[in-house]
């Protein structure tokens, strides 16, 4: 009986070798018998690990189309099913698994799949053709089409040892329906048309007495939408941009140089790609304001800055509590004391009451978010309000050379609106992300929403009237009001306001407003 195991072709087994082989075999059989007896005794005491059972699938088709509209090939084209299964812990053990269908006497089944014994749910079931197109779908409970079947998904089933479980969901044809009608999530995509253009930026190097390539920052926008914002290297840069806009505004900035801005039509920008056309767009930057990245006031507050045209601005509201010589600026004034500065012409600042701002719990939080509100006499004080080398900007709506008007003129020349100077942080902003927020600092919900293309990030810090108990502080979340250094009369000075629209006013000098400093 052992010949079949130990036959060696064309060799003769001698007696000694056979005896040794027999001894080894007998020893092996003895060990196996002992182990078998040992495990047999323990069989009823310990569960078998990783015991599996099997499940196979078929389907029952429920036609929702009139018989005259039924395609005879609908069922015949069925090639596979796509299933998802969760275990009793809610973990996906099969996620959109595709199983080939086997046709037997006009019916379809799948090959069995193995699962550990236990309880499961069939959560998705799709019948597809050979190209992966869905033909039939089992509706999910709660979906629009769930009423069409007796037992919508999920279907619970149990896997037992040595049992093949058969699951037969009811499926509905998919014609004239969407995946959502059956309770299935989907995603789609839109192909965005783009094009490339080349750009090189040069500056004059006085040491070599020649122009050289340089790094810079490029921002491309159109119709108030930022299409590109990134660094340019000291090479000929290839920029990929979204197609479909009539005009493109190019804004190129570099610290210490005037901002380059130009508007090109779609056709003009596309010509700056191939050498046989216009070749790269060549931009030469002129030396201009030397704008540091940040500036620090006497209290140690650090402010970010932004270049707008040829000007260097703080992009945050002033928070300083001392003049530049170290003297404290008076604060904590009552309405009567604040109003009295009209006669005394003494500087003062206030912080919008945190009790009036939902979400801010202290003066320190308000100051950090929105800055302080100053009367005009702090601006006019010779001890200095802005950091050294900076000033409170001038303003007169009738004089183009004042600081606020230079800014306004630059913005309008870009084809953008003054609205783009305000921060994008706003309740219900459709821009989403950090722009769509209710967390301070932010603007209240409104009909207009800013992209903050210029990075000025104006915030609605409100004002202090200081003349009426019923209306002492006002306009938080709604208006950004900024003092200017320009006097209009003995008791009035020009102010710049931004909100639903941008406007100017010759406000009373005691009104508390925000301050933005501009570099000398």
Structural domains of the chain ordered from first start:
52-182 (2.60.40.3540), 194-284 (2.60.40), 294-519 (no CATH)
The pLDDT, as a whole number, for residue 407 is: 93
The pLDDT, as a whole number, for residue 447 is: 75
Tell me if residue 69 falls in helix, strand or coil: helix
Tens digit of each residue's pLDDT (9 = 90 or more) over 453-490:
999 999 999 999 987 777 899 999 999 999 999 999 99
Residue 14 has pLDDT above 80, yes or no: no
Residue 174 has pLDDT above 80, yes or no: yes
Token pair, residue 132, equals: 């992966």
Rounded CA-CA distance 175/126 in Å is: 14
> Order of strands across the sheet with 216-222?
225-232, 216-222, 247-253, 260-265
CB contact at 8 A, 472 and 335: yes
The greatest distance separating any two alpha carbons of the chain, rounded to the nearest whole angstrom, comes to 131
Of 43-52, 283-292, 301-310, which one has max mean pLDDT? 301-310
CB contact at 8 A, 94 and 77: no
Nearest residue to 55 via CA among 92, 110, 126: 110
Work out the pLDDT band at 188, boundaries 50, 70, 90.
low
Work out the pLDDT band at 272, boundaries 50, 70, 90.
very high
Residue 505 has pLDDT above 90, yes or no: no
Lowest mean pLDDT, pick from 228-242, 299-313, 317-331, 408-422: 408-422
Q: Which residue has better confidence, 74 or 53?
A: 53
Nearest residue to 241 via CA among 284, 198, 285, 188: 198
Over residues 269-290, the mean pLDDT reads: 84
Helix residue spans in 7-125 (DSSP H): 15-42, 73-76
Tens digit of each residue's pLDDT (9 = 90 or more) over 87-128:
999 999 999 999 999 988 878 989 899 999 999 999 999 999
The pLDDT, as a whole number, for residue 413 is: 86
Number of H helices, E strands in the chain: 8, 31
The pLDDT, as a whole number, for residue 191 is: 73
Residues near 8 by beta carbon (within 8 Å), at least 6 away in sequence: none
Lowest mean pLDDT, pick from 12-21, 194-203, 242-251: 12-21
Over residues 338-342, the mean pLDDT reads: 94
Residue 68 has pLDDT above 50, yes or no: no
CA torsion, ordered 513, 517, 518, 520, to nearest 10 deg = 120
Nearest residue to 177 via CA among 72, 95, 65: 65
Q: Return the percentage of the chain with pLDDT > 90, whole number.
A: 65
Work out the pLDDT band at 428, boundaries 50, 70, 90.
very high
- Neighbour-count burial for 406-436, b at 16+ CB within 10 Å, e otherwise: bbbebbeebebebbbbbbbbbeebebeeebb
């Amino acid at each position: 009986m052992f010949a079949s195991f130990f036959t060696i072709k064309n060799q003769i087994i001698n007696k000694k070798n056979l005896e040794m082989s027999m001894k080894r075999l007998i020893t092996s059989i003895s060990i196996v018998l002992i182990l078998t007896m040992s495990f047999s005794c323990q069989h009823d005491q310990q569960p078998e690990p990783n015991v599996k059972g099997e499940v196979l699938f078929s389907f029952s088709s429920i036609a929702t189309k009139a018989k005259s509209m039924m395609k005879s090939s609908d069922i015949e084209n069925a090639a596979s099913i796509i299933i998802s299964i969760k275990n009793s812990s809610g973990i996906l053990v099969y996620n959109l698994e595709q199983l080939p269908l086997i046709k037997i006497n006009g019916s379809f089944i799948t090959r069995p799949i193995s699962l550990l014994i236990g309880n499961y749910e069939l959560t998705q079931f799709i019948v597809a053709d050979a190209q992966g197109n869905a033909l039939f779908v089992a509706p999910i409970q709660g979906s629009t089409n769930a009423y069409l079947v007796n037992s919508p998904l999920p279907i619970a089933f149990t896997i037992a040892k040595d049992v093949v479980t058969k699951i037969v969901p009811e499926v509905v044809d998919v014609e004239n329906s969407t995946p959502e009608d059956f309770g299935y999530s989907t995603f789609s995509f839109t192909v965005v048309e783009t094009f490339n253009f080349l750009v090189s930026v040069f500056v004059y190097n006085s040491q070599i007495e020649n122009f050289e390539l340089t790094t810079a920052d490029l921002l491309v926008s159109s119709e108030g939408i930022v299409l590109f914002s990134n660094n340019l290297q000291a090479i000929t840069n290839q920029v990929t941009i979204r197609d479909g806009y009539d005009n493109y505004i190019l804004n190129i900035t570099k610290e210490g140089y005037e901002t380059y801005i130009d508007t090109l039509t779609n056709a003009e920008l596309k010509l700056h790609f191939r050498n046989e056309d216009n070749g790269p767009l060549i931009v030469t930057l002129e030396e201009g304001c030397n704008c540091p990245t940040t500036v620090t006031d006497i209290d140690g507050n650090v402010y970010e800055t932004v270049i707008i045209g040829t000007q260097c601005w703080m992009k945050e509201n002033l928070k300083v509590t001392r003049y530049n010589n170290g003297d404290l600026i008076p604060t904590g004034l009552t309405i009567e004391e604040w109003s009295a500065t009209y006669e005394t012409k003494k500087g003062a600042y206030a912080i919008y009451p945190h009790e009036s701002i939902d979400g801010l719990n202290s003066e320190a939080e308000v100051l950090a978010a929105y800055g302080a509100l100053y009367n005009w006499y702090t601006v006019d004080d010779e001890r200095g309000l802005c950091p050294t080398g900076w000033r409170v900007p001038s303003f007169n709506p009738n004089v183009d050379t004042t600081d606020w008007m230079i800014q306004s003129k630059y913005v309008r020349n870009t084809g953008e609106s003054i609205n783009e100077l305000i921060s994008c942080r706003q309740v219900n902003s459709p821009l989403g992300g950090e722009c769509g927020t209710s967390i301070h600092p932010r603007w209240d919900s409104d009909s207009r929403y800013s992209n903050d293309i210029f990075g000025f990030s104006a915030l609605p810090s409100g004002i202090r009237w200081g003349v009426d108990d019923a209306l002492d502080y006002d306009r938080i979340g709604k208006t950004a009001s900024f003092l200017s250094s320009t006097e209009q009369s003995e008791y009035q000075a020009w102010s710049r306001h931004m909100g639903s629209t941008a406007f100017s006013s010759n406000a009373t000098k005691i009104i508390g407003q925000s301050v933005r400093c501009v570099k000398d």
